[in-house]
């Protein structure tokens, strides 16, 4: 991967991330393998972004065919209608970047036989043949396939990222799942499963889910951004990042694994994670004294507030009775100065004021 700044170098703008101090070792991307499960509205764009970024190898899994009804989304083209999604995707992606290696599987990962093969490929399909892939991305559109990926990754201890777009097309999310450490897909089941409803019964004949290229593009962008940060070790990787298109709201949070998770491999991974954590040498936290002056601050400006906690509390006034977890940003002092008690400084000399105070 050349860093040469010439118009003919497809990687010059990516390698510039090093010069800008964002990524230490961008060319490492050539060594990574990512499996993309589901090459639909989110998965195809995800695969294209990774291809253009110069990923080492992609494994693509999907059993669908390209349809004209998919043309409201990005990536696939009308002349590809009828082709399998993985075949059409591989063809396009190879044209975009011939440096990337591909493995494609035109099958449904949830059937017993395919599931075994899927497990085999994610545990041995890396660029460095025999090694597990670096990351599995779930870009599927149903619960059953997500559970299959979850089961496989829990058993293999394989880190993966889940993504999803709602059926009404105006919200989505991405989630990082590290088996044993963060909540898996079975740790916090979605409402449909919690209510014990078979999702197939929710799908009504003739009623199809809505989709927007915008929402799918945003979710794919957030997903690949997180993949790059995770693989190339820069910035902060989000554990869970939601996207609400109606309000442009992006909630983010982290969920710990559930010790009562239904998946026994998840519970096993949690035990192993605990052991690993306990075995790590304790890092002693040395409390550093607050530095008053910055070393590089030649003017010696003090950065520490002279107001004490008590001063702040006194100035904050009474705190209203609030439910647990809610705090007020600020409060107004309750006692406004009572008229008559104030002194008009301008009319009196300092001596007069002092005398008045002595008499009080």
Q: Which are the catalytic amino acids?
A: 208
Give yes or no for residue 47 binding Zn ion (CB under 5 A).
Answer: no
Contact 31, 56 (CB under 8 A): yes
Buried/exposed 244-283: b ≥16 CB within 10 Å, e otherwise? ebeeeeeeeeeeebbeebebebbbebbeebeeeeeeeeee
Nearer to Zn ion, 48 or 263 (CB): 263
**Helices and strands (H, E) in the chain, number of each type:** 11, 8
Q: How far is CA 275 from CA 152, 184, 253, 281, in A?
A: 22, 19, 25, 12
Give yes or no for residue 109 binding Zn ion (CB under 5 A).
Answer: no
Tokens of 65: 């065919």
Q: Which of 63, 1, 21, 14 is nearest to 224 (CA)?
A: 14
Nearer to Zn ion, 212 or 255 (CB): 255
Count, residues in the chain: 360
Contact 183, 262 (CB under 8 A): no
Residue 150: CB minimum distance to Zn ion, A: 8
Give yes or no for residue 34 binding Zn ion (CB under 5 A).
Answer: no
Residues 326-355, interacting with Zn ion (CB under 5 A): none
Residue 90: CB minimum distance to Zn ion, A: 33
Could you tell me which residues come within 8 angstroms of residue 176 by beta carbon, excluding any fewer than 6 positions away?
Answer: 159, 161, 182, 226, 230, 237, 238, 239, 240
- When binding is defined by CB under 5 A, the residue of 186, 216, 228, 245 that contacts Zn ion is 186
Give yes or no for residue 152 binding Zn ion (CB under 5 A).
Answer: no
String marking each residue 252-271 x if it binds Zn ion according to CB under 5 A: ---------x-x--x-----
Could you tell me which residues come within 8 angstroms of residue 303 by beta carbon, excluding any fewer than 6 positions away?
Answer: 291, 292, 293, 294
Residue 184: CB minimum distance to Zn ion, A: 3
Please count the other Cβ atoms lying within 10 Å of the Cβ belonging to residue 343.
12
d(CA 185, CA 352): 76
Nearer to Zn ion, 233 or 275 (CB): 275
CA-CA-CA-CA torsion sign (195, 196, 199, 205): negative
Give yes or no for residue 187 binding Zn ion (CB under 5 A).
Answer: yes
Question: Which span (5-13, 179-187, 199-207, 303-311) binds Zn ion, by CB under 5 A?
Answer: 179-187
For Zn ion (CB under 5 A), the number of binding residues is 6
String marking each residue 266-305 x if it binds Zn ion according to CB under 5 A: x---------------------------------------
Could you tell me which residues come within 8 angstroms of residue 232 by beta carbon, excluding any fewer than 6 positions away?
Answer: 23, 24, 25, 26, 28, 29
Nearer to Zn ion, 58 or 184 (CB): 184
Contact 12, 26 (CB under 8 A): no
Nearer to Zn ion, 132 or 180 (CB): 180
Residue 157: CB minimum distance to Zn ion, A: 13
Residue 179: CB minimum distance to Zn ion, A: 8
Nearer to Zn ion, 43 or 180 (CB): 180
Nearer to Zn ion, 56 or 180 (CB): 180
Residue 46: CB minimum distance to Zn ion, A: 24
Residue 305: CB minimum distance to Zn ion, A: 45
Give yes or no for residue 184 binding Zn ion (CB under 5 A).
Answer: yes
State the residues that interact with Zn ion by CB under 5 A.
184, 186-187, 261, 263, 266
């Amino acid at each position: 991967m050349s860093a040469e700044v010439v118009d003919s170098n497809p990687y010059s703008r990516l390698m510039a991330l090093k010069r800008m101090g964002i990524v230490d070792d961008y060319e490492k991307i050539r060594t990574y393998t990512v499996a993309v499960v589901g090459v639909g509205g989110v998965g195809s764009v995800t695969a294209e972004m990774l291809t253009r970024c110069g990923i080492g190898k992609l494994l693509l899994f999907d059993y669908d065919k390209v349809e004209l009804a998919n043309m409201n989304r990005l990536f696939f083209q009308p002349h590809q209608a009828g082709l399998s999604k993985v075949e059409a995707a591989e063809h396009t992606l190879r044209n975009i970047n011939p440096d990337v290696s591909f493995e494609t599987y035109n099958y449904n990962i949830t059937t017993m036989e395919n599931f075994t093969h899927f497990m085999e490929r994610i545990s041995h399909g890396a660029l460095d043949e025999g090694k597990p892939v670096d990351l599995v991305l779930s870009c599927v559109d149903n619960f059953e396939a997500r559970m299959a990926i979850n089961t496989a990754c829990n058993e293999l201890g394989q880190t993966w990222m889940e993504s999803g777009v709602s059926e009404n097309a105006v919200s989505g999310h991405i989630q990082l799942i590290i088996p044993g450490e963060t909540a898996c897909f079975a740790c916090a089941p979605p409402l449909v499963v919690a209510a014990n409803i078979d999702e197939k019964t929710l799908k009504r004949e003739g009623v199809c889910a809505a989709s927007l290229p915008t929402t799918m593009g945003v979710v794919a962008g957030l997903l690949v951004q997180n993949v790059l940060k995770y693989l190339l070790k820069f910035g902060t990787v989000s554990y869970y990042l939601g996207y609400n298109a109606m309000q442009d709201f992006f909630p983010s949070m982290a969920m710990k694994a559930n010790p009562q998770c239904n998946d026994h491999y998840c519970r096993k991974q949690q035990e192993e994670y605990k052991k690993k954590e306990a075995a790590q040498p304790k890092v002693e936290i040395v409390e550093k004294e607050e530095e008053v002056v910055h070393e590089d601050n030649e003017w010696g400006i003090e950065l520490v507030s002279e107001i004490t906690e008590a001063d702040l509390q006194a100035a904050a006034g009474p705190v209203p009775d609030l439910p647990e977890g809610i705090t007020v940003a600020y409060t107004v002092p309750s006692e406004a100065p009572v008229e008559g008690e104030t002194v008009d400084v301008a009319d009196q000399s300092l001596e007069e004021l002092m005398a008045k105070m002595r008499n009080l």
